[in-house]
């Protein structure tokens, strides 16, 4: 849900293997949240893809009714129009995602902030904005007015019964920085409920693998080298009960005053990040966590973001393209433990996530 609910801006590669007498592997794909989902799963019972797909599609349709910013009738859109100072009833999932976003807002000292819609509109990066339209950097007065409406401290959540409340009119919520990862976790939980303990689920670049592939090896995901045009991979990450998410600045940007600005807003300044050719990949136990952290770390930058990861023991890969066309990479020790070596050549099978 980062930019039209597409969470990551890199190429993912699902690298599979073949062996004799393996259990059958089922594959599902379909549209969701302005992007696509890809699922691979298997278990000790018949895979029954049509039935499983219908179940997953129903789950995602309900998720869209809850948290989409593209639907006027979604819970989130209705809350954004609701009066201030009053509890607005929502589903348990919506309340949980907002609750998680507030936790990461505190953990990142406000760098993850789901109340940025006024700033996204100001920079022409809101839901429904056209990518080919140039942007005009906002005037200081307009920027100040929008920033007054931003700050997750103005959002409150309760879980029993689930409801949201805002402090004053004009405060809005956009969960695109965390909701796709939560949706991946929901699908994994549903597949496990259906009896499939082995699965890989990807939505718009947010991916999680549980169990193993039919050949007994972990699911493996290729992380694209930043700004690559030939599919070169920076690392191949095995995901055994782990999740991965990447945020980058090189697939959604606009031109203004001779420069390029990304779709990523720094809520601390209200300004869109200038394009440099950078990405951050996070590996975590849940896709919710990986999705919640990649964009804040990109905003922090490779120095402060790296320090934050070391302090919080986060597995992360930072890539930054230099002025001469080179790439500087920084990895935390926990990322290196998971993916110790860079691949020597691109892998043939891959899934695009834009």
Query: Is residue 249 within 8 Å of residue 264, measured between CB atoms?
Result: yes
Name residue 156's beta-bridge partners: 165
State the angle between helix axes of 92-107 and 179-193 in degrees (0 to 180), rounded to the nearest 10.
Answer: 130
Distance of alpha carbon 219 from alpha carbon 241, whole angstroms: 9
Estimate to the nearest angstrom the gap between the alpha carbon of 21 and the chain centroid.
36
Instruction: Give yes or no for a contact between 350 and 231, defined as CB atoms under 8 angstroms apart.
Output: yes
φ/ψ (deg, to 5) at 164: -120, 155
- Annotated binding-site members: 177, 291, 295
Check residue 4 and give left, alpha or beta (phi > 0: left; psi -120 to 50: alpha). Answer: left
Binding residue numbers for Mg(2+): 177, 291, 295
* Helix pair 287-312, 92-107: axis angle to 10 deg: 20
Helix (H, G, I), strand (E, B) or coil at 69: coil
CB distance 100 to 292 below 8 Å: yes
Residue 338, phi then psi, degrees to nearest 5: -80, -40
C-beta of residue 91 within 8 angstroms of C-beta of residue 63 = no
Give the integer Cα–Cα distance in Å for 132 and 144. Answer: 26
> Sheet containing 155-159: which strands, arranged edge to edge?
88-89, 162-166, 155-159
Alpha-carbon Rg for the chain in angstroms: 20
Instruction: Output the six-digit token pair for 72.
Output: 């006027």
**CB distance 294 to 264 below 8 Å:** no
Give the number of other Cβ atoms within 10 Å of residue 47's Cβ. Answer: 18
**Is there a cis peptide before residue 161, judged by omega within 30 degrees of 0?**
yes
Q: Hey, how many other C-beta atoms are within 10 angstroms of the C-beta on 88?
A: 18
């Amino acid at each position: 849900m980062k930019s039209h609910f597409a969470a990551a801006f890199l190429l993912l590669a699902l690298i599979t293997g073949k062996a004799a007498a393996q259990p059958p592997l089922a594959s599902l794909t379909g549209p969701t949240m302005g992007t696509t989902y890809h699922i691979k799963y298997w278990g000790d019972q018949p895979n029954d893809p049509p039935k499983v797909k219908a179940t997953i599609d129903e789950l995602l349709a309900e998720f869209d009714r809850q948290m989409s910013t593209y639907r006027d009738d979604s819970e989130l859109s209705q809350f954004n129009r609701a009066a201030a100072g009053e509890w607005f009833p929502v589903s348990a999932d919506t309340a949980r995602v907002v609750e998680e976003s507030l936790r990461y807002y505190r953990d990142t000292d406000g760098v993850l902030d789901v109340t940025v819609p006024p700033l996204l509109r100001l920079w022409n990066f809101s839901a429904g904005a056209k990518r080919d339209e140039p942007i005009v950097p906002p005037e200081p007065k307009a920027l100040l007015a929008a920033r007054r409406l931003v700050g997750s401290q103005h959002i409150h959540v309760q879980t029993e019964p689930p409801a949201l409340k805002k402090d004053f009119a004009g405060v809005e919520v956009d969960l695109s920085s965390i909701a796709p990862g939560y949706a991946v976790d929901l699908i994994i939980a549903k597949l496990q409920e259906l009896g499939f303990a082995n699965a890989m689920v990807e939505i718009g670049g947010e991916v999680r693998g549980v169990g193993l592939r039919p050949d007994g090896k972990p699911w493996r995901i290729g992380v694209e080298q930043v700004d690559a045009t030939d599919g070169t991979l920076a690392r191949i990450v095995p995901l055994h009960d782990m999740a991965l998410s990447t945020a980058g600045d090189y697939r959604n940007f606009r031109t203004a005053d001779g420069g390029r600005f990304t779709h990523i807003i720094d809520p601390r300044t209200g300004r869109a990040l200038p394009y440099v050719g950078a990405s951050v990949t996070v590996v975590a136990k849940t896709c919710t966590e990986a999705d919640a952290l990649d964009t804040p770390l990109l905003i922090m930058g490779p120095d402060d973001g790296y320090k934050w990861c070391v302090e919080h023991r986060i597995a992360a890969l930072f890539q930054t393209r230099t002025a001469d066309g080179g790439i500087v990479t920084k990895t935390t020790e926990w990322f290196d433990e998971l993916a110790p070596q860079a691949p020597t050549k691109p892998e043939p099978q891959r899934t695009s996530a834009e």
